[in-house]
Structure 1
Amino acid sequence: MANSPGPQRARKRFGQNFLRDERVITRIVKSIQPRSGDRLVEIGPGQGALTGALLAAHGELDAIELDRDLLAGLRTQFFNYSGFRLHEGDALQVDFAELRGDGAPLRVVGNLPYNISTPLIFHLIAAGDAIRDMHFMLQREVVQRLAAEPGSGQRGRLSVMAQYYCQVMALFSVPPEAFVPQPKVESSIVRLVPWQEKPHAAEDEALLAELVRRAFTQRRKTLRNNLGGWITGDTLTALAIDPGRRPETLTVAEFVALANHPAVTLSAS
């Protein structure tokens, strides 16, 4: 691995906490298992701790960094890697299909700040087959919501929509002591693998998204309460869905079946 860079102050506006624990870094790289021909993309390389490990394991990496103060250090630190390509900019504005080009689908990795984690995940999902998989470090609570099973107290809109588009696997937790400065929350690593063929496909994904949004408007209330005035109890019953159930008990398959029911349309909402 390249030498560690000199001290760099974390900037609050970017939600920066720099990963330092070598054992955690090694475990992340092992989870990704980069292989010949892979196209790795790191979002927010920061001071380059994980970047160096990925380059040592694979030799090639595209890195996207928004903080201009970190760019010069990254270029200096990894100048001897001809396969290191550093892009300045906001990952939320990157066209990942264009970044992929005619090459292999992208394998995306990053330590994501809370404020961009959800929009960035869905921005990447929107890139379709340009993305092979994603490995992210997120707040543990976000990972719990992403991976929450039906009936779980953490299950919500994010759970259903992420699982509709991807296989979601919570891998392992990372303690605050692994970072400088130490965050006030626990972190976890999650793997997201976009379905090549969705096990349950909605005929209208915009309708599905609106259905899920409304179902979780007041999560303590029942489907009858949250969807009343739009979807009748008879429609729910026809699909063997009890109107008295709470939204967190529904599977992705049940939400998709409801969205695909001919009586459920956006125009009628």
Structure 2
Amino acid sequence: MTHSRPHIHELLEQGGLAPRRDLGQNFVADPNTVRRIASLAEVGTGDHVVEIGAGLGSLTLALADTGADVLAVEVDSGIVPVLRSVVADRANVTVVEVDAMKADWDEILSGSDSWTLVANLPYNVGTPLVCDLLDEVPSITSMLVMVQKEVAERFAASPGSKQYGAVSVKTSFWATARLAATVPASVFVPKPNVESALVRIDRRTPPEVDTETLFGLVKQAFGQRRKMLRRSLNGVVTPGQFDAAEVSPEARPETLDVDAWVRLARAVSA
């Protein structure tokens, strides 16, 4: 049983709560939507799922219904007691009160070496959180996250598209990504002013390269994305290094796929 819109309002009222704008809280109030997300996550008995921003437990209940073991992470101390009461009869759900942006993920996820992240992420932390988890938490092997649609498009963007940027390169380095579904604003309480989308991100074995050099180049180049690389990376990449990497210094950053960025980083590091 998942939450309906009246039940969301009832839980908030009983707890003397209201959605917090500072935490980007928009609660899913449509049972069909959370069941669809749980289905798209392709998890079940024996799987370990971490949900960040569990809120009032709408998605948590749908994930628990799959039979997976669910670790529900929530930062809002006012919401946590309500969440605990909602999942009190679910033996396969554990609630952890912690700020996901400051969490010790090695400790929190010590129960398994393979986790699936399934989450309705607050718009204000979606991008940095996913990027940090890709960089630092290899035990999260797959993600299905709901974020602002334009953010989801950046994660899954291909070279040459207007959405393609530094976030796209980082995602492509660590994983494969694709848009899984769009989600209308009407299913949320409160209703946001933007459309949401689900993006599926699955880890892959990354190429061998110095990641500090790689992402430093990417950040600097996309910081001046309208300039040719020979200008945006002037003083950082030499003409000989462009030649060695088989990358045109006249190219603009959005035209390079992740393999080209890796070649350029290797040439700089050599």
TM-score of the pair, normalised by structure 2: 0.91
1:19-34 correspondence to structure 2 within 5 Å: 19-34=28-43
Specify the alignment match of 2:71 in structure 1.
Answer: 62
Specify the alignment match of 2:125 in structure 1.
Answer: 116
**Residue identity in the other structure for 1:159:** S
Asked if 1:191 corresponds to 2:200, the answer is yes
1:224-262 CA deviation, whole Å, 9 max, x = no partner?
A: 11011221234213333221111000010000001001x
Choose which of 220, 225, 240 in structure 1 pairs with 2:231: 225
Q: Which runs of 5+ in 1 are unaligned?
A: none
Contact 1:26–1:53 under 8 Å retained in 2: yes
Asked if 1:136 corresponds to 2:136, the answer is no
Choose which of 237, 240, 251 in structure 1 pairs with 2:243: 237
Contact 1:222–1:246 under 8 Å retained in 2: yes
Choose which of 87, 97, 102 in structure 1 pairs with 2:106: 97
1:190-227 CA deviation, whole Å, 9 max, x = no partner?
A: 111121x22x331x110111111111121111111101
Contact 1:140–1:186 under 8 Å retained in 2: yes
Contact 1:18–1:180 under 8 Å retained in 2: yes
Q: Which runs of 5+ in 2 are unaligned?
A: 13-17
TM-score of the pair, normalised by structure 1: 0.91
Backbone CA RMSD of aligned residues? 1.8
Choose which of 243, 264, 268 in structure 2 pairs with 1:258: 264
1:96-138 CA deviation, whole Å, 9 max, x = no partner?
A: 2222325241111111112211221133224443112111100
**Residue identity in the other structure for 2:86:** Q
Specify the alignment match of 2:47 in structure 1.
Answer: 38
Contact 1:169–1:190 under 8 Å retained in 2: yes
State the shift of 1:189 in Å. 0.4
State the shift of 1:46 in Å. 1.0
1:186–1:226 distance in 2 versus 1, CA, 3 Å: same
Contact 2:159–2:256 under 8 Å retained in 1: yes
Greater Cα offset, 162-171 or 5-14: 5-14
- Give me the whole-angstrom Cα distance separating, in 2, the residues matched to 1:2 and 1:224: 55
Choose which of 174, 180, 184 in structure 2 pairs with 1:175: 184
Specify the alignment match of 1:201 in structure 2.
Answer: 208
- Give me the whole-angstrom Cα distance separating, in 2, the residues matched to 1:247 and 1:2: 45
Choose which of 95, 100, 105 in structure 2 pairs with 1:86: 95
1:251–1:81 distance in 2 versus 1, CA, 3 Å: same
Contact 2:47–2:68 under 8 Å retained in 1: no
Choose which of 16, 20, 41 in structure 2 pairs with 1:11: 20
Contact 1:37–1:104 under 8 Å retained in 2: no
State the shift of 1:2 in Å. 5.3
